[in-house]
C-alpha cells in the first residue's frame, strides 16, 4: 500500500510522515484469528493479474473515486457494494456484461468514470451479491450500527509498509483494487509496477503481541 494518497481536491500530501508513525492502537481488526483467509492458497491470482495488466493501466490516475464513495455503497467494512449505476431492468447480471467493464477496468464514457476492477471475476453470478438501488426510502427505519472502517496508513514506523487491515476473503487480489485509475484514491498504490505485494504487506490477523508460553 502506498504512503501517499490523492484526495478529491487532487492535492497530494505526504501521508505517512504526518500522522501514521505511531504504534498501532488496534481499532478495527477485520481479519479473523484462526479463520482460513485464502491469502496463501489464492496467491496465484495476484501474479496472474499482474501479468495480465498493462503497466499503464496500473499507474493511471483519476482520483474521483474516494473512500467516501467506497463506504457509502457498503453497510459495514467488507460488505458487498451495491451497484451504484443504472442497469437495464431485464439485465440478468451475467458475468460477460459486468466483466466487460469491471474485469479490467478502463474509462467508460456513459458513466464518465473509470470502472473499478473486481477482485473475484471467477464468481459469475454478479447479482447474487451486488444489487442496484431503485429507491432511497426504507420500509422501516433501521437501528443498524457497525464498526469504523479500517484506519489508513497503519505503518509501524514512518515509511514502513502497512499491514493488510482487511479480510482477504473475496478480496485476495491486491492489484484489482489498489492499482489503476479506477482504484479508490486513498488506497491506490503508486508503485504498481511491483507485482509481489506480499513481499512487503502482510495481513494482520491478530492484535495481540507475542508472549512466551513458558
Which residues in the 128-187 window bind another protein by CB under 8 A?
128-149, 151-152, 167, 169-170, 186
Q: How far apart are CA 73 and CA 94, in angstroms?
A: 21
Task: State the Cα–Cα distance between residues 108 and 104, nearest whole angstrom.
Answer: 12
Tally of CB atoms within 10 A around 199: 9
Binding another protein (rule: CB under 8 A), the pick from 13, 156, 157, 202 is 13
Min dist CB 55 to another protein, Å, is 28
Q: Can residue 209 be called a binding residue for another protein (CB under 8 A)?
A: no
Q: Is 82 in the site for another protein (CB under 8 A)?
A: yes
Q: How far is the CB of 81 from another protein (least distance, A)?
A: 9
* Rounded Cα gap, residues 111 and 65, in angstroms: 12
Beta-carbon count within 10 A of 170 CB:
16
Q: In whole angstroms, how large is the CA radius of gyration of the chain?
A: 18
Total chain residues near another protein (CB under 8 A): 72
Which residues from 31-60 bind another protein, rule CB under 8 A?
32, 35-38
Site for another protein in 88-127 (CB under 8 A): 89-90, 92-94, 122-125, 127
Amino acid at each position: 500500500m502506498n504512503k501517499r494518497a490523492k484526495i478529491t481536491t487532487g492535492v497530494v500530501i505526504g501521508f505517512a510522515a504526518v500522522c501514521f508513525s505511531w504504534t498501532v492502537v488496534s481499532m478495527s481488526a477485520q481479519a479473523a484469528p484462526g479463520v482460513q483467509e485464502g491469502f496463501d492458497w489464492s496467491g496465484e491470482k495476484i501474479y496472474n493479474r499482474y501479468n495480465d495488466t498493462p503497466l499503464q493501466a496500473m499507474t493511471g490516475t483519476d482520483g474521483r473515486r474516494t473512500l467516501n464513495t467506497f463506504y457509502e455503497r457498503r453497510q459495514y467494512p467488507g460488505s458487498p457494494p451495491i451497484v451504484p449505476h443504472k442497469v437495464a431492468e431485464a439485465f440478468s447480471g451475467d458475468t460477460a456484461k459486468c466483466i466487460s467493464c469491471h474485469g479490467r477496468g478502463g474509462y467508460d464514457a456513459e458513466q464518465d468514470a473509470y470502472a473499478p476492477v473486481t477482485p473475484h471475476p471467477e464468481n459469475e453470478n454478479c447479482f447474487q451479491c451486488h444489487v442496484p438501488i431503485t429507491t432511497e426510502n426504507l420500509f422501516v427505519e433501521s437501528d443498524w450500527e457497525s464498526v469504523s472502517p479500517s484506519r489508513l496508513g497503519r505503518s509501524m514506523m514512518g515509511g514502513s509498509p502497512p499491514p493488510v487491515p482487511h479480510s482477504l476473503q473475496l478480496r485476495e487480489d491486491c492489484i484489482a483494487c489498489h492499482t489503476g485509475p479506477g482504484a479508490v484514491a486513498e488506497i491506490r498504490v503508486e508503485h504498481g509496477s511491483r507485482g509481489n505485494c506480499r513481499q512487503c504487506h502482510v495481513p494482520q490477523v491478530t492484535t495481540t503481541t507475542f508472549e512466551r508460553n513458558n
